[in-house]
């Protein structure tokens, strides 16, 4: 039993990474994202745990999560479900409380954020001892898949307006694939008041305001294959509202 450790490259430091996976109706995606996380963390040898925060998904996501816990072990997969859908922002707060790592990785469970970038995030963080590292679709080799021209124009346009008005010092504000020092995330979450979509934007704007350092890693964003997006609809309206709120308050 004890010899299992030798198969992994040992890391000299004691860093541990807690991945927060908020899920709502992700029964098809959850096993796949967990499998990929285990694969890339296994290969890179960093210590980690995966915290699944399911909000009472009617499709039985939690039941799938329990099976995954059986397969990969209770030290790797932690289940911290909540009884009903209470939103993404509070899901993170709930997850942080149970995280034992000194770093926290936030990502979507819908496979649009690929775990292969996590080792890059970690290296980037170590390189400049950054307080947070943000994935970006808008720089370097970053990009998207499955977006039509209309969506690209809206995305780039919205990003440009945001850059001009807020000068946030980060290129991707609405993406939610990020690595934080735990105490940094805790203090940010405490300050942030927005809900849903705007939450990610407020987090990084406040980070800059509080003089936290930000590193960036280009990521490819592949639109979800299974299930459907829970946001959408009035996304543009809530984006504009959030932007103006941040413009007036930060």
Ligand X SMILES: Nc1nc2c(ncn2[C@@H]2O[C@H](COP(=O)(O)OP(=O)(O)O)[C@@H](O)[C@H]2O)c(=O)[nH]1
Give the range of 30-38, 41-49, 105-113, 204-212 binding Mg ion by CB under 5 A. 105-113
Helix, coil or strand: residue 128: helix
The helix/strand/coil state of 157 is helix
Minimum Å gap between C-beta 190 and Mg ion is 26
Q: Which is nearer to other proteins, 2 or 164 (CB)?
A: 164
Pick 82 or 124: Cβ nearer ligand X? 82
232 beta partners: none
CB of 67 to other proteins, least distance (A): 5
d(C-alpha 204, C-alpha 215), whole Å = 11
SS3 content of the chain, % helix, strand, coil (to 5): 45, 20, 35
Binding part of the chain for ligand X, among 51-59, 150-158, 164-172, 177-185 by CB under 6 A, reads 51-59
Residue 176 interacts with Mg ion (CB under 5 A)? no
Stretch binding ligand X (CB under 6 A), from 103-111, 118-126, 136-144, 185-193: 103-111
Q: Residue 83, Cβ neighbours under 10 Å: how many?
A: 7
175 and 137 in contact (C-beta within 8 Å)? yes
- CA 116: distance to chain centroid? 13
Q: Rule CB under 6 A: is residue 80 a binding residue for ligand X?
A: no
- If contact means CB under 5 to 8 A according to the sort of partner, which of Mg ion, other proteins, ligand X, none does residue 23 touch? ligand X
The angle at the Cα of 72, spanning 66 to 75, to the nearest 5 degrees, equals 90
Nearest to other proteins of 181, 202 (CB atom) = 202
156-164: Cβ within 8 A, 24+ apart:
158/236, 158/239, 158/243, 161/243, 162/201, 162/243
Q: Any contact of residue 222 with other proteins (CB under 8 A)?
A: yes
Beta strand 132-136 pairing with 214-218: parallel
In the stretch 55-94, what mask flags binding to other proteins with x, by CB under 8 A?
A: ---------x--xx-xx-----------------------
- Residues 23-42 vs other proteins: string with x where CB under 8 A? ----xx--xx--xx------
Cα distances (Å, whole numbers) of residue 174 to 32, 58, 60, 114:
24, 27, 28, 17
Asked whether position 172 contacts ligand X by CB under 6 A, the answer is no
Instruction: Kindly tell me which residue out of 105, 109, 132, 179 binds ligand X, with binding defined by CB under 6 A.
Output: 109
**# residues contacting other proteins (CB under 8 A):** 42
Least CB distance to Mg ion at residue 227 (A): 9
Smaller CB separation from ligand X, 88 or 131: 88
CA distances from 186 to 108, 115, 150 (A): 19, 23, 36
The answer to whether 208 touches 168, Cβ cutoff 8 Å, is: yes
4 binds other proteins (CB under 8 A): no
The yes or no reply on residue 196 touching other proteins (CB under 8 A) is: no
Q: Which residues bind Mg ion (CB under 5 A)?
A: 108, 110, 112, 224
């Amino acid at each position: 039993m004890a010899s299992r450790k030798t198969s992994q490259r040992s890391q000299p430091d004691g860093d541990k990474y807690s991945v927060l996976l908020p899920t709502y109706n992700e029964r098809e995606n959850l096993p796949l994202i967990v499998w990929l996380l285990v694969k890339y963390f296994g290969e890179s040898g960093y210590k980690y745990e995966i915290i699944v925060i399911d909000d009472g998904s009617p499709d039985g996501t939690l039941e799938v999560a329990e099976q995954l816990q059986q397969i990969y072990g209770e030290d790797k997969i932690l289940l911290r479900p909540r009884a009903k859908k209470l939103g993404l922002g509070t899901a993170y707060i709930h997850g942080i409380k149970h995280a034992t790592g000194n770093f926290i990785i936030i990502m979507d469970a819908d496979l649009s954020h690929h775990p292969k970038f996590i080792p890059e995030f970690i290296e980037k963080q170590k390189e400049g001892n950054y307080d947070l590292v943000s994935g970006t679709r808008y720089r370097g080799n970053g990009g998207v898949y499955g977006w039509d021209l209309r969506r690209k124009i809206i995305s780039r346009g919205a990003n440009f307006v945001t850059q001009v008005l807020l000068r946030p010092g980060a290129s991707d504000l609405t993406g939610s694939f990020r690595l934080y020092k735990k105490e940094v995330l805790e203090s940010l979450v405490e300050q942030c008041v927005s809900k849903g979509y705007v939450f990610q934007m407020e987090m990084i704007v406040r980070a800059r305001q509080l003089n936290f350092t930000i590193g960036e890693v280009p990521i490819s964003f592949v639109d979800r294959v299974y299930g459907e997006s829970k946001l959408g609809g009035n996304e543009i309206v809530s984006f504009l509202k959030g932007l103006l709120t941040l413009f007036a308050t930060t």
